[in-house]
Amino acid sequence: MCGVIPLTHCKLLTNIMLYSVIGGYHSQNEDFKSMMIFKDELSAIEYAKYLEYEDGYDYTLTELHEVKTIKNLHKEQGYHRIVTAN
């Protein structure tokens, strides 16, 4: 199932893995203003350390997500548009 994209573009779908990192406070839960997305695990880990040791968050959550993108649909702009995340 391709969701909101036309069936003719289904063959252009590709899956990539991305890391999300978010900081949180024990008294207030997660602060979505701190959330960032990374392609590689090392960058995600470094940002999580930064949030705890430099920005003062009590804890961080780092999760790996499979994200579907459409390849080459917007070739002239030179980017991949994110369609859905699991």
Mean pLDDT of the chain, nearest integer: 79
Answering whether pTM is above 0.95, one says no
Which pLDDT tens digit goes with each residue over 20-50?
A: 999 999 988 899 999 999 999 999 999 999 9
Q: Output the pLDDT for position 76.
A: 45
What is the residue type of 72? N
76/57: higher pLDDT: 57
Say if residues 24 and 30 touch (Cβ distance below 8 Å).
yes
CA distance linking residue 40 with residue 72, whole number of Å = 22
3-state secondary structure of 39: coil
